[in-house]
Amino acid sequence: MPKDFTQLNYYEVLDIKPDAVAFEIRHAYNAALQVYQPGSLASYSFFPEDERQDILSLVETAYRTLISDQARKDYNEELIRRGELDVRKEATSTAKKPVSIFNISRNPVAKVALTNNETLKNKINQSQLIGDILAQNELCGADLKKIRTELGVLIEQIAQETKIRHDHLRSMEEDHVARLPAAVFLKGFVKSYLKCLCLEPVEALSTRYMDTVARLSQK
């Protein structure tokens, strides 16, 4: 059995929590007025006229008490004396902050594996295969792929690092001449690819790659 309406405390009358801020109190007051005022549809015929007046004056008192800081403090103390309110809940001073819905981490985490340039450079210097490929006159996409797999770097990592689309990277590595982007873009792409794998010298290697592609496309 719920308590009789006239015996509810002011917070219960307005349906708010004891730590509600002024905005919430005003909002709850408006909502209560919509329900209980004489012209309201929701409470039509629900109460006799005198009962409605009692309820309205109770809502009014509740609002006036809670909206004024001093009166609210006194009222809270009275509630605590009556044992209806915990002392902990009374502390209302901390302002509410917006709560984030998603926990987006803005720190670059995925880069760690690639930015470790020293290990990549060491690998390049030690590897026989990479040395052979770089010594050639030509540099095609398949060679790039070989170097990448030799270094143990995933194509997804390159895509993440360089922001080049997957399908472009794949057609570069598979030498799909027809599907490659325009030369002006391709040059930039291959440069970022090389930089990403710490292959030196970038300028010379990229020119070599572009020449190879040009020869392939003429075939």
Partner 1 sequence: MAYIWPIGGGKGGSGKSFLTSSLGRLSARLGKRTLVIDLDLGAANLHTLVGVPYPKKGFSDFIRKKTFRLEDTVVETPFENLFLISGAHDNFDVANLPYEQKIKTLRAIMKLDYDSVLLDLGAGTSFNTLDFFLISQHGIFITTPEPTSIENVYRLIRSIYFRRIRYCFNVTDFKALEDEVVIQFGDGSFNKPECMIKVIADVYPEKYEQLQDAFSAFRFKLIINQVRKHDNAALGMQMSRMLEKHLGLHIEFAGNVAYDDHVHDAICQRVSFLDRYPCTRTACDLHEVGKQIVQPGGQQLMFRYL
Q: What single-letter DSSP state applies at residue 182?
A: P
CB 79 to partner 1: min, Å: 19
Contact 82/72 with Cβ under 8 angstroms?
no
The nearest distance, CB 216 to partner 1, in angstroms, is: 56
Q: Rule CB under 8 A: choose which of 2, 49, 50, 70 binds partner 1.
A: 2
Fill in the per-residue mask, 7 to 26: x = in contact with partner 1 (CB under 8 A), - = not in contact. --------x-----------
Which of 141, 134, 123 has its CA nearest to residue 200?
A: 134
- Binding to partner 1 by CB under 8 A, coded x per residue (else -) over 47-66, reads x-------------------
Closest separation in Å from C-beta 111 to partner 1: 47
CB 76 within 8 Å of CB 85:
yes
Contact 65, 72 (CB under 8 A): yes
Q: Judged by CB, which is closer to partner 1: 45, or 137?
A: 45
* Integer Cα distance of 49 and 53 in angstroms: 6
Cβ proximity to partner 1: between 1 and 87 the closer is 1
Helices (H), the chain: 10-14, 22-36, 49-67, 69-82, 87-90, 112-115, 117-126, 128-135, 141-151, 155-162, 166-173, 183-196, 202-218
* Percent composition of the chain: helix, strand, coil (DSSP 3-state, to 5): 65, 0, 35
Residue 1 interacts with partner 1 (CB under 8 A)? yes
- For partner 1, which is the closer residue by CB, 34 or 68? 34
State which residue, 44 or 102, has the beta carbon closest to partner 1.
44
**Interaction mask 28-47, partner 1, x per CB under 8 A:** ---x--xx-----xxxxxxx
Task: Please report how close the Cβ of residue 58 comes to partner 1 at its closest, in angstroms.
Answer: 12
Q: What is the CA radius of gyration of the chain?
A: 36
Chain contacts with partner 1 (rule: CB under 8 A): 1-2, 5, 15, 31, 34-35, 41-47
